[in-house]
Amino acid sequence: MPAAILGILVGWLALNKFYLGYTKEGVIQLVLNIITFGAASIIPFIEGILYLFMSDKQFDDTYVYGKKGWL
């Protein structure tokens, strides 16, 4: 739940990536947001929505244990 809220509300700062421990992906997201003047912040917004609709088990399997960095 915290990763979803971070992705939706402050995804432009890539806080959802850093919260999940994905430092490399977080830095990439920050750079993309700077280069595209914030247009790339749609990615963490979509990820936040996806996180909300996943079950806890599916989220854990995909992002915690599976270490899937993007969508």
| Residues 12-48 pLDDT 10s | 899 999 999 999 999 999 999 999 998 999 999 999 9
Asked if pLDDT for residue 1 goes beyond 90, the answer is no
Give the Cα separation of 10 and 64 in Å (integer). Answer: 21
pTM, whole model, 2 decimals? Answer: 0.81
Q: What is the residue-wise DSSP string for 2-70?
A: HHHHHHHHHGGGTHHHHHHT-HHHHHHHHHHHHHTTTGGGHHHHHHHHHHHHS-HHHHIIIIIIS----
pLDDT greater at residue 71 or residue 49: 49
Domain ranges, ordered by start, for the chain:
2-65
Is residue 71 scored above 80 in pLDDT? no
pLDDT for residue 68 = 86
What pLDDT sits at residue 64?
Answer: 85
Structure-token pair, residue 53: 């609709």
